[in-house]
Amino acid sequence: MSKNRFARQVTVVAGFIFLCAVPGIVRADNTQQSAAPTPKAPSPVASLKSDALPQDDFAGLNYTDEQKSELDKIHRDTESHKEAVVKDEKLTTDQKNAMLLGYTRMEYGMRFKALSPEQKRQVRKRMLDRRAADQSAQKKRPPRN
């Protein structure tokens, strides 16, 4: 079930990238551009809610040199994709936020795949503990009217 959800997210993000790339190519071929500069919108990265992002369940793990290099490559690739989304002027703030969150989730999944079986067990335990804590905190909240 989670593999299908992840595959669906990857497909959606790839679709967004494709849709954004095609008009950019057409616009690059167009020699006429407006003389007035467009105002820059605030960075959508700053507007992402911190609770929308997963906590760092990977903190405190001891990585091998190979894992460190692979994780670094994953992070650099993801950051380059995020920068492209932030710079894309055709997307709305909500679209940018959705794509940035999608890239963050994809990075999280790729980082998980790079772990050893023991490290994966540790991360799964942290995730389950965090979810249990979130559920108990949600039960303690008074109902909204």
CA–CA dist 80, 47 (Å, integer): 19
Q: What is the DSSP string of 60-83?
A: T----HHHHHHHHHHHHHHHHHHH
The reported pLDDT for the residue numbered 142 is 75
What HEC string does 42-59 produce? CCHHHHCCHHHCCCCCCC
CA–CA dist 122, 57 (Å, integer): 9
Token pair listed for 119: 């490290």
CA–CA dist 17, 106 (Å, integer): 14
pTM above 0.85, yes or no: no
The reported pLDDT for the residue numbered 145 is 63
Q: What is the DSSP string of 101-138?
A: HHHHHHHHHHHHHTS-HHHHHHHHHHHHHHHHHHHHHH
The reported pLDDT for the residue numbered 50 is 43
The reported pLDDT for the residue numbered 34 is 47
The reported pLDDT for the residue numbered 39 is 47
Question: 17: helix, coil or strand?
Answer: helix
The reported pLDDT for the residue numbered 132 is 92
Q: Print pLDDT tens along the chain (145 aa).
A: 566 776 677 666 666 565 555 554 444 444 444 444 554 544 444 444 444 445 678 888 899 999 999 999 999 999 999 999 999 999 999 999 999 999 999 999 999 999 999 999 999 999 999 999 989 888 887 777 6
The reported pLDDT for the residue numbered 25 is 47
The reported pLDDT for the residue numbered 117 is 95
CA–CA dist 68, 94 (Å, integer): 33
The reported pLDDT for the residue numbered 56 is 77
The reported pLDDT for the residue numbered 51 is 46
Task: Compute the chain's Rg from CA coordinates.
Answer: 19
The reported pLDDT for the residue numbered 122 is 93
The reported pLDDT for the residue numbered 19 is 56
